[in-house]
Chains A and B, each alone.
Chain A
Amino acid sequence: MKLDTPSLRYDLAELSSDLCALYRGAGYRKFRMRKFEEYSLYLENKNFLVSEHVLAFNGLDGRLLALKPDVTLSIVKNTGASETEGEKLFYAESVYRLDKKTKEYREIEQVGLEMLGGVDAVGTLEVLSLALESLSLISEGSVLAISHMGLLDAIFRSLGLGAAASSSLYACFKTAGAHELRALLSELGVDGGRADALKALLDFDAGDAERLEAVRALSTSEEIRETAEELESLLSALAELGYRDRVRLDFSVVSDSDYYNGIVFSGYIDGVPRAVLSGGRYDRLAAKLGKSISALGFAVYLNELSYFLGGDAEFDADYLLLYGENDAPSAVCRAAAALRASGSVYLAKSIPEGFRAREIKRMGEDGLC
């Protein structure tokens, strides 16, 4: 842990509940799902998943089922939303994923929301505002990094490169490796102004204005111009809503272009080393699942916060209430109930080993003393 890492103010259950209240307040309905799904859903969309490894088992009827590694796929598969009759849903669910580092499956708590159908400029702004408000609930020090898969995809296609070359370009963008990008572009025969503009998208000392300028320099088709304008309008709208200081244009935020076709974003909290929120526009995933709808959503990864959230680690309870053999049980319980108004209470006959209480109370002849 970094020597000066600040701790944050929530425990996970409290945070989950506040996030759900935030989404409910914006008119999103809670979506509850079973813990498992048909394995084939994940097999057919394995590139959408963080890890292709899925915990599978046979149902009693012989069907191959899986403990769900992802929530969005199930929601999109089951939605009845259309482009004119949209749905707004939120969830607080566990997913089961292979941890790449430990090579063990982990249960991960996710809270998130999905806007299915009718995603327009207002809808996009609403979802991004909710993402920013979600981060605010965790900490005042937070940033939302935004990119646009449709824009990058259109720019890469305009270079006339094949799938393998595009995939290498995406890999460079993901690591923000401007020096690797330089070498790759030279290898691919992309040079001159276009190569300079592409490198400027990743330069470590470029600000949002320079990056937008580079995008304009790469606007060689109507598609690129339109997506660039969409991105610029969105950044302006977020600035008008007072979020400018917390939003960054960051083209290292990259998701799979087979599924994501528009805005993609990652949320960061000061002192937490990995993104705690991730989302984007995924019309292409919806289309793969047979739904002709626009779709946008995000998830907050509570597990990324678990080591950094403040909690009640300093004390096991606010009060340790000690009682004796001769104390009337009803008097003890009455005294505990009275104390609970000002904090948590642990009842015991003697001080448990290693127990830390803010204050120790004892039962006396006339009640607490």
Chain B
Amino acid sequence: MLSVALPKGRLGDKVYRLLESVGYGCPELLGDSRKLVFENEENGVRYFLVKPSDVPIYVENGAADVGVAGRDILLEYSPVVHELLDLGIGRCRMAVAAREGFRDDLTRPLRVATKFVEIAKRHYAKKNREIEIIKLYGSIELAPLLGLSDVIVDIVETGTTLRENHLHVCEEILPISARLIANPASRQFLGNEIAELAGKLKAAIERCSVGKGN
């Protein structure tokens, strides 16, 4: 039986629908329940619903054989997992944003507010720009408005929140989407089951993109 860690919330719902469409359904999961573990013996699958940033932890430590996590989480925490597939859903971008009219003062370190500390550090290290990181856990957009930081590094989907707070994207760092990840040890012992699941998902995604193309 395959154990799958799914992120709670909108992304998890989309991923579950995709998995259901290729034969890995578990109707109990859609019910109004506070359960966190759902099993469908017939389909050979067991789901865990966990906080999105915890998915790689469950997979890396073997509590789940596979899981779905955003590329942002994978790049931030660098878990030892295999990335099998780009699911093409949950698309957004990691970007640098600042107040309208912001100009970078190169004579002093740039103050960067973010919850993605490692991604921000790597981005500015590549540019050889000295920065001061301000780690925040939410409402990142507030930091430049209150003068706490010069810029923010955060996920941008539609840009509405930024616009409403008079911020704009000044630099795109990388595109983000959901990835199917697997525990490297599980791949050695459940290789066929994992490849079958990944293969079915890949085919469904390709069918979907062909459909959109038409």
Contacts and interface: CB of A to CB of B under 8 A. Distances in A.
Interface residues of A, number: 27
B198 A204 contact: yes
Contacts of B187: 176
Interface in B41-99: 46, 60-64, 80-86
B73 to A, nearest CB: 13
Contacts of B198: 204-205
Contact of A248 (B80, B86, B188, B195): B188
A247 to B, nearest CB: 11
A176 B188 contact: no
Nearest to A266: B184
Contact of B185 (A177, A180, A275): A275
Contacts of B186: 273
A179 B85 contact: yes
Interface stretch (A1-9, A72-80, A322-330): A1-9
Contacts of A4: 1
Contacts of A66: none
B194 interface: yes
A204 B86 CA distance: 13
A275 B62 contact: no
Nearest to A180: B83
30 contacts: A1-B63, A2-B3, A2-B62, A2-B63, A2-B64, A3-B3, A143-B188, A145-B188, A175-B83, A176-B84, A176-B184, A177-B82, A179-B85, A204-B84, A204-B194, A204-B195, A204-B198, A205-B195, A205-B198, A250-B188, A252-B184, A268-B184, A270-B189, A272-B185, A273-B60, A273-B62, A273-B183, A274-B62, A274-B185, A275-B185
Interface of A: 1-5, 141, 143, 145, 175-180, 204-205, 248, 250, 252, 268-275
Given A176-B84, A250-B188, 11 more contacts: A1-B63, A2-B62, A3-B3, A145-B188, A177-B82, A179-B86, A204-B195, A268-B184, A273-B183, A273-B185, A274-B62
